[in-house]
Amino acid sequence: MILALLLALQVQASDKLPPANPLPYADADAANVMAPIDAMFRGLAARDGAAILAQVRPDGGATVVAERPDGRREVRHTSWAEFAAGVKPGPERYQERLTDPAVEVDGDIAMVWSPYVFTIDGKVHHCGTDHFDLVREDGRWRVLNVTWTQRTTGCPA
């Protein structure tokens, strides 16, 4: 709550958010939080929707705020089942790479925030920022939701 208030005050003062200051995930708990995310990315690379579903809570979902060619933003939300159904076998090699993820853990909830780059056959297709929220149940972390921005300009190579 205090963090949200401080961020709101900063936004009012500068009319934009401060740059992200992510911390590397070096401790064991943070590495455990990253395990289902890393497994989801392996499932995406393998074009295996079932592998992705194995890492999520079915009651969550995926939301993208995508930049359209006309410069407007479009918000789309899908259930995990719909998301996984869209991951189909094909010849292209998909890879999503996080850069400097920030991991926060409080008991059995966690969040991961990170810039990312998505490539197809090794070429940058789009980039943005990923935000995962996770819950731990029975000692296992699962992704509840992922929300991301998506753009094709200003992406790192």
Q: Does any domain span residue 9?
A: no
Q: Using an 8 Å Cβ cutoff, are 109 and 128 in contact?
A: no
Q: Quick one: pLDDT at residue 30?
A: 87
Domain range for 61 is 27-150
Nearest C-alpha neighbor of 131 from the set 144, 141, 118, 146: 146
Q: Is residue 64 part of a domain?
A: yes
Mean pLDDT computed over every residue of the chain:
87
pTM, rounded to two decimals: 0.81
Backbone angles phi, psi at 112, to 5 degrees: -130, 130
Indicate whether 4 belongs to any domain.
no
Position 13 in a domain: no
pLDDT tens for 46-68 read 999 999 999 999 999 999 999 98
Looking at the structure of the chain, the number of domains it has is: 1
In a domain, 2, yes or no: no
Give domain status of residue 20, yes or no: no
Sign of the dihedral through C-alpha 50, 143, 67, 78? positive
Q: Which CATH number do you get for residue 38?
A: 3.10.450.50
Q: How far apart are CA 79 and CA 52, in angstroms?
A: 12
In a domain, 65, yes or no: yes
Q: Does 48 map to a domain?
A: yes
Does pLDDT of 19 surpass 60? no
The one-letter code for the residue type at 89 is P
